[in-house]
Amino acid sequence: MENFNPITKQDYPDPDIIRVDSTYYLLSTTMHFFPGGAVLRSFDLVNWEIAGYVFNELDSSSAERLEYEQNIYGRGMWAPSLRYHNGLFYALFVSIGKDYTYVFTSKDPAGPWERHTINAVFYDASLLFDGDRAFVIHGNTEIRITEIDIDRFEVKKDGLNISAFKDEHNVGLGYEGSHAYKIGSSYCIFNIHWPKDEPAVRTQVVHVADRIEGPYREKELIRDDYGLSGNGVAQGGIVTTPDGKLYGFFFRDQGACGRIPILTPMCIKDGFPHVGDNGSIPVFEAPSSAKPKYKYSSLYTSSFTDGEKLALPWQFNHNPDPCLYRLGKNSYEITTGKLSANITEAVNTLTQRAYWPKCHAEVTVDASRLRFGDHAGICAFESCYGQLSVSKEPGGFYLNLITRDPDESFNGRSDCIPGDLIEKILLPSPIVKLRIDLNFENLDDYASFSYKIDKRFEKLSYIHKLSFRLDHFCGVRFGLFCYSTSDFGGTAKFTDFKYVI
């Protein structure tokens, strides 16, 4: 027996998982990062790699381009459903604030995908195929079942459209995050649920019926905080292995690192899916692999490119402006095209997910082409960010440690004021190597900062506290950025990036 959990060691929330032949595919929430809809691939449910992305961008609104102090932090792609039917892959999800539901289709999960929309909002939805019929199970507190015409991408006229069940418990969060399946002759709908019982912990429940219309019977499936008080394992799906074994794939909150997938064996008991003893995740043997000698690509990288394309682990914060960045074999350049108060407004910030429980990244920054008031560097990217940047000022080039305190709050998700300057150091050169160390052990959740001019790193004394917050709704990431505060048009060059776990 071996404890493989958490599985990806990175922020892949709301996972939905399917198997096609002997290959597993996973799709999770990617919010405001693009390209979006990362599709992961595995042959054993434990080891994963990025196969591709569902979309390069969703739309091209001002908010998605970080224009006019607008943004889509905490919005973008939410809680997707991944399914395979009649030779096609389907990815269905909503983007909060839009009045329609996206459906992307492809013959290959690595892409390309074709974009469609349904003129309805299906919140935290699951797509369910039942023979020639297609249903969307969706909602919050009240879970509804809506039949759709999957060929026309519309709600089916005179099709099934019912309330399946409601959460009438004493809860802080009602049923949501639906994942629906037909197991044998039974219909099973999984939902996240947060009772106010003591001790308060998020749980996973399942409803089972003999007919799609119901009536549905309820059972609490998982109640396990996995050693992190109050943070229960929940919101995910199930999959069957080629040899008929049943596994559940959910996520657990891992503090500032984000929401990381958890794998658990399951079985059917008394007509319900069943997990462990009293809903606790057991220690178990690894599922068998269809390709035991397969070498997986890493979920993180020290390279900017794979060939001429952006390496798969990288994502931009919001829609990038391709006219203002340049990728080289071992370099990345950003030219600013607007004024920004801080890094949350900076266009073309390039990010990678942090890795639990510890990781660090370093990069060489050439700031010689900055303009006065520009900042370029590396950051622990989230709403309570910590950045180490080089600035150009009349007195020369300076190293700046700038942060946003976790206790500071803003109206909505817009942060339009400069960060807090913690430390400022005059540099002998505009070219400097910067480093950020992240530590998530025991929910310590902090970042520390170093810089190197000659042969050794000098560590700054300040330790920055990180925190998972609902405004960005994502785990912390490494980010490379450049922004202007007084005169845009400056350029920063990043080389020798290195990601270490």
Side-chain-side CA neighbours of 279 within 13 Å: the count stands at: 17
The DSSP 8-state label assigned to residue 257 in this structure reads G
Rounded distance between C-alpha atoms, residue 463 and residue 461, angstroms: 7
What's the pLDDT score for residue 409? 66
Q: Would you kindly state where each structural domain of the chain is located, as residue ranges?
A: 16-274, 305-500
| Beta bridge partners of residue 481, listed in sequence order | 377
What's the pLDDT score for residue 411? 59
**Residue 58, Cβ density class (10 Å: 0-12 exposed, 13-18 middle, ≥19 buried):** buried
Work out the average pLDDT over 382-408: 94
CA torsion sign, 386 to 391 to 396 to 397? Answer: positive
Give me the amino acid identity at 265.
P
Nearest Cα neighbor of 491 from 315, 332, 316, 328 is 332
Assign domain 305-500 one CATH number from 3.30.365.10, 2.60.40.1120, 2.60.120.200, 2.60.40.3080: 2.60.120.200
The phi, psi pair for 276, rounded to 5°, reads: 50, -155
What's the pLDDT score for residue 377? 98
Average pLDDT of the chain is 94
Work out the average pLDDT over 279-292: 90
What's the pLDDT score for residue 227? 74
| Tokens linked to 491 | 């350029």
What's the pLDDT score for residue 454? 83
Task: Give the number of residues written for the chain.
Answer: 501
What's the pLDDT score for residue 201? 82
Work out the average pLDDT over 209-228: 91
**Among the residues of 325-389, which ranges form H helices?**
none
Percentage with pLDDT > 90 across the chain: 86
Nearest Cα neighbor of 466 from 424, 413, 407 is 407
Nearest Cα neighbor of 263 from 2, 4, 1 is 4
Q: For residue range 438-472, what is the model confidence (pLDDT) as tens digits? A: 999 989 999 999 999 888 899 999 999 999 998 99
What's the pLDDT score for residue 361? 98
Task: Please determine, for residue 496, whether its predicted confidence score (pLDDT) is greater than 90.
Answer: yes
Q: For residue range 138-147, what is the model confidence (pLDDT) as tens digits? A: 999 999 999 9
Nearest Cα neighbor of 415 from 471, 475, 331, 333 is 471
What's the pLDDT score for residue 230? 67
Give me the amino acid identity at 297.
S
Rounded distance between C-alpha atoms, residue 203 and residue 218, angstroms: 13
The DSSP 8-state label assigned to residue 343 in this structure reads G
Query: Which H helix or E strand runs over 264?
Result: strand 259-269
Q: For residue range 337-347, what is the model confidence (pLDDT) as tens digits? A: 999 999 999 99
Edge-first strand listing for the sheet containing 457-465:
325-327, 331-335, 491-500, 358-369, 431-439, 446-452, 457-465
Side-chain-side CA neighbours of 291 within 13 Å: the count stands at: 12
What's the pLDDT score for residue 410? 66
What's the pLDDT score for residue 412? 61
Q: Give the count of beta carbons closer than 10 Å to the beta carbon of residue 87.
A: 7
| Tokens linked to 437 | 């160390």
- For 39, 143, 384, 399, 464, the CA distances from 15, given in Å and listed in that order, are 10, 19, 25, 40, 30
What's the pLDDT score for residue 119? 97
Q: Would you say domain 16-274 falls under CATH 3.40.50.2300? A: no
Q: What is the distance of C-alpha 100 from the center of its chain?
A: 21
The phi, psi pair for 195, rounded to 5°, reads: -65, 155
What band does 231 get if pLDDT is binned at 50, 70 and 90? confident
Sole residue written with tokens 């009438």: 168
